[in-house]
Each structure stands twice: as C-alpha cells, then as structure tokens.
Chains A and B, each alone.
Chain A
C-alpha cells in the first residue's frame, strides 16, 4: 500500500536543516498554541455551560473572563503560525495535499474564526443576547477544531487520499473518519480540563487578593479538570484502537513512547491527586506537562507514519547560513524581551493607586 501511495507524493522541498531543530521548535510552539487554545475554548465552554451555576463565584469569574477571550483568540491564532510554518517545512508534501483535498472546509477556517472573534468582542461588550452570541462563537470554534482535527487525520493518512479521485470537486472532510471522532473528543476534553483550571486559577488569584466566597469556583474548576482528565482514559483508548495496526504496533513497541506513556500515566494520577487536594497551581503545572507530553507522542507518531510513507524519497537538507539563524534568534529573543519589558511597565501602572490626580482635565 505504502508503495502505491508513494506515486501520489509530491516532490519535497529541501529542509533548512537540521530537521531535528525544526521538530524542537515545532514542539515548543505547538505546545504553547495548544495550551492557549485549550484555555480559550475551555473557558468559553464553561461560560456557556455554567452560566446558570448556583454559585455566584462561578458565574462572576466566568463573566469576568469574557473580556479576555478575544485577546486569547488573537494570541492563539498568532501562536498557530509557527507550528504551521514548521509543519509545512518538514511535511509540506503531506500537509498541502491533505489541505487541497479538504479545500473549502480548510479555507472556511479563516471565516469561522473571524466570526467567532467578533462574536467574542460583542459578547464582552454587550449583555443583551450574550449567551446566544457566546453559544454561536463556541459552535464556530468547535467546528474549526473539528476541521483542523480532520485535516490532521487526513495529512497523517495518505492511504485515504485516492478516495478523493472519483469526485475531485467534493471536499473530503471525513476521509480519516475512524480517527477523527475520538481525536476531536480528545481535544474537547483537553479544553474542558484546562478551562476548569482557568476558572480555578482566576478564583485562586481573587482569593489571594482577599475576595471572599471563591471556594465553589475553585472546587468546581478543579472538578472539571479531574473529570475531563479521567474521561481521557476512555477516549484515549478509543483513539488508540482507531489507529492502524502498524501505528498501534509502533506505540506499543517503541521505548521512547513507553517512557512518554509512563509520564502521562504518572502525570494524570498526580494531577487528579493534586486537584483533590485543591493545589491549583501545582495542578496547572502538571496539566501543562501532560499537554507537552501528548504533543511529543503525537510528533513521534507523525514522524513514524510519514517517514514510513516517504522512505526512499526523503527531503534533502541544506545548511542554513549562521547569519540567518542569528536573525531568527535576535528577532524572537528581542520580541520576548520587549514584551517582558512592556508587561513590567503595565504591571507597575496597575499597581499604582487609582487615587492619583488625572493628568488631563477638561478646561472649562
């Protein structure tokens, strides 16, 4: 089968090597993107599902999170750019083919996110019809997540590409249907878990500031994390059995994956235990570790599958001039330094007492 599929593979452009360095960059930036995306969609889901919570603290914290959501979209979209870029550099021949097959669905992502983005601004600004707008925005973002999941499944399963041939104009969304649903549910549960931690984290910050009555929000947020994380056991098992026998064999027999699964198991147990003991920040740390570990498992599986398909026609690598690497590092480090400095400037302003005299008063 793999040999037949090779005929469908486009030529690969050279990789600005070393490829391992780009995999590392992809791992870091994709983990950051996923964490932000989980926080954004998870908070949004909670805001929609728990807006009638009997606990005032839950309602209040979720309501106060709303103005943060559009900013979250801006940063989530921005952080999607580098992993998408690195994916194209490493596996462009698979990614472009899968996306072309998806065609209008893939293109629709931009419009869906844009509408959700404006919806979140609207919901944060106006109370009238807020739940309705939030519900629509949630549906748009979930549909986006579903298309992205289907895209990833399609890219990872070149064997299904020829299914597209009989009716080329039809957009193939569910070609990898076997893995799409559990994979999507896996993402959804991750969003709920991280969303719960955002609620618990915000409530803890407020509690530390001396605002009373935050306990229900902390307890509920941690419970969301715990239940969603335990739900991953069932969905993860389903996801595993939806993979091809070769992929299952790889996951079962590769020592690096064994180590990562051990970390995942320990991390899940530790996360649940910490959440039961109401250790919010430690649970947040464990959740970030779990997301990073899952990204690593995913990257290794992708590497195994796609390297197997393109064995014998590996993309060549070329040496990047040092000055170009310097440009990149200076750009990234300079930007982060600038952002850090700007955040400090703002933190100082926020800690300045509000009783200070206004600078500009309207002249009579």
Chain B
C-alpha cells in the first residue's frame, strides 16, 4: 500500500478497466478461436479444391491482422497499464507471485504474432503453388496453438484472483495457477473463443460472391457457433459449481445472489442472453439460408451483439463476484491488503501522499477527505460519471448519515470493504462527501 491515489476527473478506475477489458477480451478471444477457424477453413478449401473458400480465408486473415493483432495486442497491454494505476498493490502482488506465468504468456503471444504475420504473408505463395498447403496450414496451426497457450497462461492468473483456493504463498505457484476455477474458466473461454470466431466467420462469409460456396460456408460457420455454444453452456454450469459457496440443489453462490445494482442486472442479463444466444444460433443454422440478404446480415449482427453482451455480463459478474476483494480473501477491491487495513485502523489511513492536513479544520477535513475518497472509494466509485456514481448514494444524507454508512461498510454491508482508518479520518471523509453532495 502507500501508493499515490489515482484521481481522474469524472471517470473512475473501474469504468476505465471495464471498457478496455471487455473490448480486449472480446477481440482477444476472437483471435484465439480464429486461429482454429482459419486453419480448418483453409483445410476445407484445399480438400474441396475451392478457390473461393481459400480467398475467403485469406481476406479473413487480413481482418485478424488489423483487428486482433493491432487492437487486441495494444488493448492487452492497456489493461495491464490501467489496472496498475487503479490497483497497483494487486498488480504488484500478481507479478511478484506469477512473474513466470506472465513471462510465458509473453513468449506465447510473440509466437502468435509471428505465426499470424507469416501465415498472412505466405498465403499468396500457397495459392501460387510456391508453398505446400500442408506447410502453410502448419503456420496456421502454430498461430492457433500459441494463441491457445497464451489463453492458458493468463487464465491461470485471472482465475486465481477469484478463487485462490488452497494457495499458501509465493512458493506455491502451481496451486495458485491450477486453482479451483482454472479448468472450467479455460474451457468456458475457449468455447467462447470458438463461438465468436464462428460468428465472425458468418459475418464475412456473407460477402462471398458465389452462392453455393457462400451458403456452404455460412452453414459451416453456424455449426461452429452451435457446437461451441453447447460446450460454453456446460462449462458455465461447471464454472458456477466451482465457485465457493455453490450450494446443493443448484443454488448459486451467495456472491452471485446479491441484490446490488452492480451485480444483479448483469447476472440477469447473462441468464437471459445465454438462452437467447442458443436460440439465435439454432435459427442461424436452420433458417439463415432462407432469409433475404439484408435480413441475414442484420440477424448475424444481432447475434454478434448478443455475444458481446453475454461476454460483457460474464466478465462483469466474474469481477463483481470477488467483492469486496480484488484478489479474493487477500486484497480488498480498493487495493488495500487485509493486514494493511488493520494497520490503517491502528495508525491511520492518511499517508504522506495525502499531505499534512489538520482534521480539526474544515479545509483540512476537505483535503483529507478528498484523499481518502480517492484511496478507498475511487477504484470503484466516480465523483459523478456514468458508473457507480457516488452522488446518489450519499447526496442529502448529511455528515452523520454518511458517517454511519461508512461505519456499517464491511459489517452490515459485506459487499463493500470496511472503511479503514481512524474515526477522525472516517468523519473527514463523511464531511467531504456531505459538502460535495449536500442534497439531491
């Protein structure tokens, strides 16, 4: 702890992470599934000696270069950068304990980039007969394998944050990586990757000029979507069952049953969108070929939108299921480790980064309150802004009301971390918020 507290006007750290993370995961998972889709499609093109299929795969490859490699690669680094600003203690904890998993993921991503660049660069050589199809497809398999391995490595770290399990400390690397949700999360994400790649296959297959090939590739891509959806649905159940607190009679863990505004709507969205996605996938498979062209594109885009909503809801639920922690049972969601919180209760939360302020004065309380808000609330709540705005939660409550709210956090309200610091500091934060938001 004792890092400076990030303050960006209007936007809170959680919103920054959410935007970058959801878009990155969407694109990165398309890349993972895409490696398999491209190579299987190329094999089909060679087997059937169909140049249209091969040209389609070649165009698809360019899309992967521009979207998954450029956007996916940079937004991946972006998540790391923004998370390090919002939760430096948590990121420091993860890189310290899992440095070699991260380093392995880097190596796999390097392999993925090089394999994709070579696969794209030699496609024309393959079509001209200067490279054997078998050799070219080997490059495709390399791309798929490296992308999958990078997913395996990062999945170990991300799933650890939710379910550290029996992990005992830095030397216990494998228990941490192969934590209770490692396998279900891996199967879920891989199935999702294949489904998203199939959906993108459908979008681009609609552009194939020759009708017979277009129809065949649409159905072929739809089979990817439906097949992977079934695996995805099964692994979602497996994932939920692996969470701590999953009860008999298939009752969801308490973490997912909370009524908070920032988890309940997303659990419900996931529950609604997932069967809708199945329905849409079946429609795609059975009815798509009977629809006129504009309706087809519209339907496929709707399904793509549904899959983005489903992925966003899943990732959000996964993030919020950890509350009040960012690393379950170890570091609170405001980046304060458990033992550091106890120290702050004894010695105070105002670090040198807060500056020297006299809490007996209004000005000193305002300055200290501002720091305490950034330190203990700002990683989730915004001062204004579109996500988890603190204003409606405190406006008009007055200093005493807000102080009582803060005192109940972590005791009555288990979803939130407790306030850490001395009673004077808590009152300074309450004073600051009551002055900032006097009434609705």
Contacts and interface: CB of A to CB of B under 8 A. Distances in A.
Determine if chain A interacts with chain B: yes
Contacts of A118: 66, 70
Interface stretch (A179-187, A276-284, A348-356): A348-356
A358 interface: yes
Contacts of B74: 77, 110, 113-114, 117
B183 interface: no
Contact of A121 (B70, B128, B149): B70
Interface string A328-364: 1001101110110011011011101110111111100
A38 to B, nearest CB: 19
Contacts of A77: 73-74, 77
A86, A96, A164, A342: most-surrounded residue (chain B CB, <10 A): A342
B95 A80 contact: no
B133 A359 contact: yes
Contacts of B101: 327
Contacts of A79: 110
A81 interface: yes
A342 B114 contact: yes
Contacts of B69: 74
Interface residues of A, number: 84
B102 A96 contact: no
Contacts of B127: 358-360
Interface stretch (B5-13, B278-286, B403-411): B5-13
Nearest to B356: A165
Contact of B51 (A13, A93, A107, A361): A361
B70 A362 contact: no
A74 B340 CA distance: 40
Contact of B102 (A85, A114, A343): A85
Instruction: Tell me if B's interface is mostly helix, strand, loop or mixed.
Output: helix
Contacts of B325: none
Interface string B72-114: 0111011011101100110111011101111110111111011
Interface of A: 7-11, 13-16, 22, 25, 70-71, 74-75, 77-82, 84-86, 88-89, 92-93, 96-97, 99-101, 103-104, 106-107, 109-110, 113-114, 117-118, 121, 161-162, 164-166, 168-169, 318-321, 323-325, 327-328, 331-332, 334-336, 338-339, 342-343, 345-346, 348-350, 352-354, 356-362
12 contacts: A11-B1, A11-B340, A74-B113, A75-B110, A75-B113, A96-B92, A100-B88, A104-B8, A114-B74, A320-B171, A335-B108, A339-B115
Interface of B: 1-9, 16, 20, 45-46, 49-51, 54, 66, 69-71, 73-75, 77-78, 80-82, 84-85, 88-89, 91-93, 95-97, 99-104, 106-111, 113-115, 117-118, 121-122, 125-131, 133, 135, 138-139, 142, 146, 149, 153, 170-171, 173-174, 340, 351-353, 355, 370-371, 374
Given A320-B173, A342-B118, 16 more contacts: A25-B103, A74-B70, A77-B73, A78-B106, A78-B109, A89-B96, A99-B81, A118-B70, A161-B4, A320-B100, A324-B173, A335-B108, A348-B131, A350-B130, A354-B128, A360-B50
The 6 closest A-B pairs by CB, nearest first: A13-B96, A349-B131, A331-B104, A96-B88, A110-B78, A335-B111
